[in-house]
């Protein structure tokens, strides 16, 4: 029995589908990551799982029990779930300790205070137990929010872009800390993000959403190596595209042919090539329009037969004005239109 | 079905146990206004024909709205422009001092100016009749326009002004080409508020002997004994007030007054003579709108106060306003908390807004009709003192709930958006969320709302006049009674106390705004 099961979940706003027949099964995955741009429906899906909004069709099961359907809605406070918000949502009129204790009101006062202290200790903030939210740094507030959520021992934790307000260094640090804490406490989690590298890093199971539809659900390696569609491929990093026809079992692009097993001869199709799957060396095929540093890679803009692609290549490559191009099979795909 | 599994419609939010209560409360607010419309449609067997009175009243109200409201618009817009964009001595102080005329209801200003300009008074200019009323409205209500325009100038368009200046728009053109177009919604919103006040005013119009819709209602009811005619006039006044409210809401929807985002613009340097003129203009507004009438009332009150005659009305006022404010506050909190959770409950806000737009006289007569109908049905006895006080409290709730909701909503809105969701996922049910999250967070704004409501009730005249039990005088009623008897010297003390009460919330509110600007 899986912790979380969505079947045919749909949600409409003013007639438009915010979520369109999304089915997902979290299996035994520790962290399910929902990846998508804003407006993709990922946050709506999280709110549906939490019971903060009703769904219009389909059903959601938690631990086998139907908690949301078109006719039934279990109140969020009765779902035994936890939620960590982008803005932390710490209660401004309560200390850090008070915030963590809030969800433990079924315990006696002494037990509640002890539990709150223990959880703050666990996230390394026992010294800040009396601090109020406005006195906490962004990272501290996030850790208090995490402690507050985990203290209630939810069967699943929903994290809504929990690190998006933080700077890069703190973000990586907190992400690691959160994943470790979740693993140590054996807590399952659903993690919403619009950052593809973050999604690939945290996910045991990765679900890619766009315009309210589920494009693909797979383990990260598979989602990256075997995207289900051009859109699913594009969701995990910069890609180049080229439209053409299948000839001789392959699609010929100006930068090289990509084999397309299983596609009908003469069918129109699209090539999708990850920017990091392009290798360049001095040569003749394409014009190198520009070459600039781009983080750990260099970004090369290449042009052939009027088509412009971008490639992420090792830094400080010595290239002339013209280059030859190799498309690595692991990052080059053909999809029929 | 288990009790914890609730049926839901496909509304945006799922759990809203407060919404039905909020809607009920809002219906309570709108009921008197609806009663006016309902009863005005009834058959009239009255010998008195309201046609001429209605026509004269409507013309009188419209003329005052155009002239008095136009004056308020002009004064408020100029003051807002000067304070928002120009550098001159005292600018920072005028930012909040210029709202002070709002402390006095129009009738208090009217009484003060009447005694100032009496034969033997210090001001030789006669302030009387139509032009006197228009002057009092303009000088007393310009702060509505001033506040709206200041927000409009400063709120979201700072970058538009900076862009215009970087594109070489000259400072003299800035007002006409950028400032005015951007602030036009604010101008409409502020003007509509001033118009609403003018249409609703009874005391000043009555004092200056004018026929307006408000005074016509009283005349039809009391002088001609024609309740249906009075209600018909009231219904017309109600529609007019609703039109102004709608104009204000529409305009404000386009230009939100978001104090949190206020930012002071870089100011224009003025020539020395222009600086003097700017200072003089603002100082004159402050002098005529607040300082002079206040000082004059204080002087008269010191000379002519009979403490014994004032004690009972003062006590009555404090009691009535205290109980009325608490009753209104609890309804306001219920509606504000429900509206925060559930979009459907926002309808309650709209319904309560109908009561807010309706002039006090309209609501009071509406409540009177409801009680009359209940008596005819044998549900209640005669309108004795107890029942009359209940009817009066009801009109206060109906009239001011929307005014109480505003500060509470603003207070709740300052809290992070997801607090309610966070508390829910931590296992707290809606009532625990209301008690432990919403209520503590709204406490400071509740105090502000209570003060605002208390003062509004202290200032309220027409409804109190209609529904107060026999011999139950408040400060407003007393001031009105003295002024009606041409005993302006004795009206000074109660008028002064009302003025002073009105200053308190203004000082607190405008300090809050000034802080937000910084």
Reply yes or no on whether the pLDDT at B9 is more than 60: no
Residue B175 to residue B85: CA distance in whole angstroms? 9
A324 touches chain B (CB under 8 A): no
Reply yes or no on whether the pLDDT at B257 is more than 50: no
**Mutation for testing the A interface, residue in B422, B430, B433, B435 having most A CBs under 10 Å:** B422
Residue B511 to residue A168: CA distance in whole angstroms? 39
Give the lowest-confidence range in B40-44, B262-266, B496-500: B262-266
Contact flag A54-B437 (C-beta cutoff 8 Å): no
The per-residue pLDDT for B510 is: 64
Helix residue spans in A185-268 (DSSP H): 196-202, 220-225, 230-235
Reply yes or no on whether the pLDDT at B89 is more than 60: yes
Reply yes or no on whether the pLDDT at B517 is more than 70: no
Cβ pair A133, A92 in contact under 8 A: yes
Residue B503 to residue B107: CA distance in whole angstroms? 16
Angstrom CA distances, B243 to A38, B141, B249, B397, B440, stand at 40, 19, 10, 22, 37
The per-residue pLDDT for B119 is: 61
Residue A260 to residue A251: CA distance in whole angstroms? 7
- Residue range A285-318, pLDDT digits in tens: 999 999 999 888 999 999 999 999 999 999 888 8
The per-residue pLDDT for A277 is: 94
Q: How confident is the model at residue B4 (pLDDT cuts 50, 70, 90)?
A: very low
Give the lowest-confidence range in A8-17, A216-225, B295-304, B501-510: B501-510
Contact flag B428-A93 (C-beta cutoff 8 Å): no
Residue B354 to residue B358: CA distance in whole angstroms? 6
A79 touches chain B (CB under 8 A): yes
Reply yes or no on whether the pLDDT at B168 is more than 80: no
What mean pLDDT is predicted for residues B7-34? 69
Q: How confident is the model at residue B216 (pLDDT cuts 50, 70, 90)?
A: very high
The per-residue pLDDT for B7 is: 32
The per-residue pLDDT for B154 is: 63
Reply yes or no on whether the pLDDT at B45 is more than 80: no
A81 touches chain B (CB under 8 A): yes
**Mutation for testing the A interface, residue in B427, B431, B438 having most A CBs under 10 Å:** B427
Q: Where are the beta strands (DSSP E) in B439-498?
A: none
Residue B470 to residue B24: CA distance in whole angstroms? 31
Residue B41 to residue A206: CA distance in whole angstroms? 66
What mean pLDDT is predicted for residues B455-468? 90
The per-residue pLDDT for B395 is: 93
Q: How confident is the model at residue B455 (pLDDT cuts 50, 70, 90)?
A: confident
The per-residue pLDDT for B279 is: 95
What mean pLDDT is predicted for residues B288-296? 92
Contact flag B10-A74 (C-beta cutoff 8 Å): no
More confident residue, B508 or B471: B471
Cβ pair A35, A208 in contact under 8 A: yes
Q: What is the DSSP letter of B111?
A: H
- Residue range B432-450, pLDDT digits in tens: 888 898 888 888 788 878 8
Average pLDDT, chain B: 82
Read off φ and ψ for residue B256, nearest 5 degrees. -65, 135
Contact flag B421-A158 (C-beta cutoff 8 Å): no
Q: Is A45 exposed, middle or buried (0-12, 13-18, 19+ CB in 10 A)?
A: buried
A47 touches chain B (CB under 8 A): yes
Q: Where are the beta strands (DSSP E) in chain A?
A: 4-13, 16-25, 31-35, 57-62, 65-69, 73-74, 81-84, 156-160, 188-193, 205-210, 213-218, 239-247, 250-253, 256-259, 268-274, 278-294, 297-304, 307-313, 322-327, 332-336
Which residues 135-174 on chain A approach chain B with CB closer than 8 angstroms? Answer: 148-149, 152, 154, 158
Q: How confident is the model at residue B127 (pLDDT cuts 50, 70, 90)?
A: confident
- Residue range B472-488, pLDDT digits in tens: 899 999 889 888 888 88
**CA A253-A254-A258 angle, 5° bins:** 30
Contact flag B441-A93 (C-beta cutoff 8 Å): yes
**Residues of chain A with C-beta less than 8 angstroms from the C-beta of B9:** 54
Write down the ipTM of this complex: 0.84
- Residue range B363-420, pLDDT digits in tens: 999 998 888 888 888 777 766 778 888 889 999 999 998 888 888 887 777 777 788 8
Read off φ and ψ for residue A251, nearest 5 degrees. -110, 120
Nearest to A195 by CA among A44, A62, A71, A42: A42
Q: Which residues contact B287 (CB under 8 A, 6 or more apart)?
A: none
Q: How confident is the model at residue B509 (pLDDT cuts 50, 70, 90)?
A: low
The per-residue pLDDT for B13 is: 44
Q: How many interface pairs between A and B have CB atoms less than 8 angstroms apart?
A: 103
What mean pLDDT is predicted for residues B118-132? 80
Cβ pair A84, A145 in contact under 8 A: yes
- Residue range B169-199, pLDDT digits in tens: 776 677 777 777 777 888 888 898 899 989 9
Tokens describing residue A278 = 């392009």
More confident residue, A200 or B158: A200
- Residue in chain A nearest B416 by alpha carbon: A89
**Residues of chain B with C-beta less than 8 angstroms from the C-beta of A79:** 425
Cβ pair B66, B164 in contact under 8 A: no
Tokens describing residue B40 = 């005005």
Reply yes or no on whether the pLDDT at B264 is more than 60: no
Percent of chain B with pLDDT over 70: 86
In sequence order, what are the beta bridge partners of A10?
A57
The per-residue pLDDT for A271 is: 94
Q: Where are the beta strands (DSSP E) in B385-489?
A: none
More confident residue, B16 or A212: A212
A6 touches chain B (CB under 8 A): no
Contact flag B424-A82 (C-beta cutoff 8 Å): no
Per-residue pLDDT in tens (0 to 9) along chain A, 337 residues:
468 999 999 999 888 888 999 999 886 768 999 999 988 999 999 999 999 889 999 999 998 899 999 888 998 989 999 999 988 899 988 999 999 999 998 888 999 999 999 999 999 999 999 999 989 998 899 999 999 999 999 989 999 998 887 788 888 888 999 999 988 888 899 999 999 999 999 999 999 999 999 999 999 999 999 999 999 999 999 999 999 999 988 999 999 999 988 888 889 999 999 999 999 999 999 999 999 998 889 999 999 999 999 999 998 888 889 999 999 999 999 998 8
Contact flag A50-B440 (C-beta cutoff 8 Å): no
Reply yes or no on whether the pLDDT at B15 is more than 70: no
Look at the pTM and tell me if it is higher than 0.80: no
Q: Which residues contact B276 (CB under 8 A, 6 or more apart)?
A: none
């Amino acid at each position: 029995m899986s912790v979380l099961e969505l079947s045919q979940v749909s949600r409409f706003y003013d007639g438009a589908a915010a979520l369109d027949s999304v089915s997902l099964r979290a299996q035994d995955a520790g962290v399910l990551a929902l990846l998508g741009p804003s407006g993709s429906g990922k946050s709506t899906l999280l709110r549906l799982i939490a019971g903060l909004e009703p769904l219009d069709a389909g059903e959601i099961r938690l631990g086998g029990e139907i908690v949301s359907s078109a006719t039934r809605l279990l109140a969020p406070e009765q779902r035994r779930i936890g939620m960590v918000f982008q803005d932390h949502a710490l209660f401004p009129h309560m200390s850090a300790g008070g915030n963590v204790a809030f969800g433990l009101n079924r315990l006696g006062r002494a037990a509640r205070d002890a539990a709150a202290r223990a959880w703050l200790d666990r996230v390394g903030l026992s010294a800040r137990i009396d601090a109020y939210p406005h006195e906490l740094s962004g990272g501290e507030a996030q850790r208090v929010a995490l402690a507050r959520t985990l203290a209630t021992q939810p069967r699943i934790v929903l994290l809504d872009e929990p690190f998006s307000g933080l700077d890069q260094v703190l973000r990586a640090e907190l992400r690691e800390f959160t994943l470790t804490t979740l693993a140590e406490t054996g807590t399952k989690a659903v993690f919403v993000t619009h950052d593809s590298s973050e999604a690939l890093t945290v996910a045991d199971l990765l679900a890619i959403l766009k315009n309210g539809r589920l494009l693909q659900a797979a383990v990260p390696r598979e989602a990256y190596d075997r995207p289900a569609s051009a859109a699913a491929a594009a969701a995990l990093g910069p890609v180049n595209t080229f439209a053409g026809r299948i000839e001789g079992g392959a699609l010929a692009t100006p930068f090289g042919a990509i084999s397309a097993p299983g596609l009908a001869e003469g069918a129109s199709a699209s090539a999708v090539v990850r920017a990091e799957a392009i290798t360049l060396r001095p040569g003749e095929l394409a014009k190198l329009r520009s070459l600039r540093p781009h983080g750990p890679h260099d970004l090369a803009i290449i042009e052939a037969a009027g088509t412009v692609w971008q490639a992420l290549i090792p830094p400080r490559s010595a290239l002339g004005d013209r280059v030859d191009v190799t498309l690595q099979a692991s990052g080059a795909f053909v999809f029929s239109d | 079905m288990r009790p914890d599994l609730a049926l839901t419609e496909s509304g945006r939010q799922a759990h809203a146990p407060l919404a039905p209560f909020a809607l009920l409360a809002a219906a309570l607010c709108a009921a008197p206004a609806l009663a006016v419309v309902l009863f005005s449609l009834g058959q009239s067997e009255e010998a008195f024909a309201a046609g001429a009175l209605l026509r004269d009243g409507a013309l009188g109200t419209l003329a005052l709205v155009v002239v008095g409201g136009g004056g308020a618009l002009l004064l408020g817009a100029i003051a807002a422009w000067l304070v928002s964009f120009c550098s001159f001595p005292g600018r920072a102080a005028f930012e909040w001092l210029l709202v002070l005329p709002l402390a006095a209801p129009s009738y208090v200003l009217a009484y003060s100016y009447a005694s100032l300009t009496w034969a033997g008074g210090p001001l030789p200019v006669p302030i009387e009749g139509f032009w006197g009323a228009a002057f009092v409205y303009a000088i007393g209500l310009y702060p509505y326009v001033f506040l709206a325009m200041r927000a409009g100038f400063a709120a979201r368009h700072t970058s538009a002004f900076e862009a215009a200046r970087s594109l070489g728009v000259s400072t003299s053109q800035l007002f006409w080409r950028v400032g005015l177009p951007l602030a036009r919604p604010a101008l409409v919103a502020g003007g509509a508020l001033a118009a609403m006040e003018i249409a609703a005013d009874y005391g000043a119009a009555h004092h200056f002997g004018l026929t307006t819709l408000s005074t016509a209602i009283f005349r039809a009811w009391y002088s001609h004994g024609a309740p249906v005619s009075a209600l018909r006039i009231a219904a017309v006044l109600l529609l007019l007030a609703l039109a102004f409210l709608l104009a204000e809401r529409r305009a404000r929807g386009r230009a939100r007054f978001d104090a949190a985002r206020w930012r002071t613009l870089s100011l224009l340097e003025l020539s020395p003579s222009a600086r003097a003129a700017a200072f003089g203009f603002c100082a004159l507004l402050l002098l005529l709108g607040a300082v002079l009438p206040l000082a004059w009332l204080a002087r008269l009150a010191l000379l002519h106060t009979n403490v014994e005659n004032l004690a009972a009305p003062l006590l009555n006022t404090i009691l009535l306003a205290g109980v009325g404010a608490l009753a209104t506050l609890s309804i306001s909190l219920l509606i504000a908390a429900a509206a925060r959770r559930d979009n459907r409950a926002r309808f309650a806000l709209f319904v309560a807004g109908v009561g807010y737009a309706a002039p006090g006289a309209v609501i009071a007569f509406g409540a009177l009709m409801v009680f009359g109908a209940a008596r005819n049905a044998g549900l209640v006895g005669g309108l004795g003192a107890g029942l009359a006080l209940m009817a009066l409290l009801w009109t206060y709730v109906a009239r001011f709930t929307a005014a109480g909701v505003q500060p509470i909503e603003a207070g709740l809105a300052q809290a992070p958006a997801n607090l309610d969701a966070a508390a829910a996922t931590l296992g707290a049910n809606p009532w625990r969320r209301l008690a432990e999250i919403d209520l503590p967070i709204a406490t400071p704004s509740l105090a502000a709302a209570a003060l605002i409501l208390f003062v509004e009730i202290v200032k309220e005249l027409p409804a109190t006049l209609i529904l107060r039990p026999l011999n139950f005088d408040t400060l407003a009623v007393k001031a009105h009674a003295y002024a009606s008897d041409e005993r302006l010297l004795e009206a000074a003390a109660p008028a002064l106390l009302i003025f002073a009460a009105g200053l308190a919330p203004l000082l607190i509110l405008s300090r809050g705004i000034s802080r937000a600007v910084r």
